[in-house]
Amino acid sequence: RTVATSLPPRVFPPGHFGFALDIDGVLLRGPKPHPSAKKALSKLQENGIPFVLLTNGGGLSEAARCEELSLKLDFPITPSQLVQSHTPAKDFAKTHKTILVVGGEGENCRKIAEEYGFENVFIPEDFYATDPNISPFNPSPPPAYARNVPKGTKIDAIFVFNGPRDWALSAQLIADLIRSDNGVYGTLAEPGSKMHLPTFFTNSDLVWASQYHIPRLGQGAFKLAVGSIVQQYSKALNRIHLQTIGKPTHHAFRYAQQLLIQDLIAKLGETSPELELNEVTHGLAPADASADATAAEEAIPSPPVDLSPGATSEEATPSPPVDLSPGATSEEAAPPPPPVDPIPGATEEEKSSQSTEAKTAATPDATSKPPFKPYKKQSAILKRVYMIGDNPESDIQGANQASYRGTTWWSLLVRSGVWSEPQDTKSPIAVVDDVLAAVDWAMENEQ
């Protein structure tokens, strides 16, 4: 049963559009594909419409997750079509050398973080193996894969890549490090010290649509628990903020938007007249980045209010995602100041050439031919992205505030996941039964 907004479908300016598809509750329910998933994906492929999977799930490398997804969906998914909860963490590998990474099975997340370029990656089991007394009630001995943590090791940042299997040990580790003297495990910061240990969660989902018929607690629940625990120390310590880089924050959506644009450029061909050549690099020199972004954002229509029955009457104007964990500020993780927006998956030399490029582009001269084709307003070739999700707080709210640099994001809420009437819809452009109905609705709207 498709309940679209009561507003007439909007007349879209011509231009390319794409899709961002959520996984749990949209394409999959636990290990099982939704009956309409394969048909929906095939329809996009047959029509040459770019799509990416944008999930708050994680715990495997993008390549391994794609293998698993291609099998489950009986449809080929490639790593350039997948943004997991921790994929945007790649951007932070240059800023933080020694990290604690929490979550997932075994040392999968350590391997992922090392693949992203983090130099020294520890996991909670390493600290437990180094001194089992840190977790006195842990029923099982440290695993064989655990590594020793040299005395005096300083942790620069904490990343939670996926829901931890052992909340007690993981929460203990995070609390100990947040209270430590500058990230050195086993020490305590002076009361009122200025120490702040960057702590990034990659998913604020309180629940998710698993195989069980009632949604299960997600990484967001763990974040709430840790938030309450560290709040007890916040009086003694300086500001503590648990940051987030997964949906609904802009990191996830920007990453997905960049992948869709790369896909479009590959389809259009670099010589396409739609790709305006200009001396400004695709990352835009810092000077005009903000101007460009603001101008583009101002021009973007906000999604219509969803007046369908059961939807709240609240305005479509999205409110910034509120970080629910007490004692934490809700600011989004400030990404490291990369010299140029890194193209996801760009190799180090490409990134560094991009950064050189950003400098030379600022003062172009006849000889400084850019090492790669500069595209101004690269995102202008992507006019719209339809986010199809089942979680109003992460998928719908995140998409409704993701419009950026000439690309409008609109959201479609499905009934196949965690949401059901009369819960708050967070103002999608339409409420539909499932992913196929969502794809049909959007494609009809693009006619």
Interface contacts to ligand G3P, rule CB under 6 A: 22-25, 55-57, 203, 205, 208, 218-219, 391
Residue 275 C-beta: closest distance to ligand G3P, Å: 32
| Contact present, 252 and 88 (Cβ < 8 Å) | yes
Minimum distance of ligand G3P from residue 341's CB (angstroms):
23
Question: Could you tell which of Mg ion, ligand G3P, none binds residue 403, using a CB distance below 5 to 8 A set by kind?
Answer: none
Residues in 352-391 that interact with Mg ion by CB under 5 A? 390-391
Of the pair 53, 264, the CB lying nearest ligand G3P is at 53
Q: How many amino acids of this chain bind Mg ion (CB under 5 A)?
A: 6
393 binds, among Mg ion, ligand G3P, none (CB under 5 to 8 A by kind): none
CB of 173 vs ligand G3P, minimal distance in Å: 20
Nearer to Mg ion, 72 or 376 (CB): 72
Nearer to ligand G3P, 18 or 417 (CB): 417
Q: d(Cα 109, Cα 385) in Å, to the nearest integer?
A: 30
Supply the minimum distance, in Å, between the C-beta of residue 399 and Mg ion: 12
Q: Which is closer to ligand G3P, CB of 281 or CB of 400?
A: 400
Strands 430-432, 3-4: pairing kind? antiparallel
Q: Which is nearer to Mg ion, 22 or 434 (CB)?
A: 22
DSSP annotation of 394 reads I
Sequence-distant (6+) residues with CB within 8 A of 93 are 113, 116, 117, 118
> Are 358 and 345 a contacting pair, CB within 8 Å?
no
Least separation in angstroms between CB 57 and ligand G3P? 4
Q: What distance in Å separates the CA atoms of residue 393 and residue 419, rounded to the nearest whole number?
A: 10
C-alpha closest to that of 414 among 442, 447, 391: 391
If contact means CB under 5 to 8 A according to the sort of partner, which of ligand G3P, Mg ion, none does residue 203 touch?
Answer: ligand G3P
Q: Which of 403, 400, 424 is nearest to 412 (CA)?
A: 400
Window 393-422: residues binding Mg ion (CB under 5 A): 417
Q: Is residue 321 within 8 Å of residue 333, measured between CB atoms?
A: no
User: CA torsion 360→363→369→374, rounded to 10°?
Assistant: 80
Q: How far is the CB of 324 from ligand G3P (least distance, A)?
A: 14
Q: What's the min distance (Å) between Cβ of 27 and ligand G3P?
A: 8
Q: Are 279 and 374 in contact (CB under 8 A)?
A: yes
Residue number, 53 or 275, with CB nearest to ligand G3P: 53
SS3 per-residue string spanning 280-340: CCCCCCHHHHHHHHHHHHHCCCCCCCCCCCCCCCCCCCCCCCCCCCCCCCCCCCCCCCCCC
In the complex with ligand G3P, the residue whose CB is nearer, 210 or 379, is: 210
Interface with Mg ion, residue 24, by CB under 5 A:
yes
* Residue of the chain from 4, 5, 17, 22 that contacts Mg ion (CB under 5 A): 22
Q: Which stretches of the chain bind Mg ion, using CB under 5 A? A: 22, 24-25, 390-391, 417
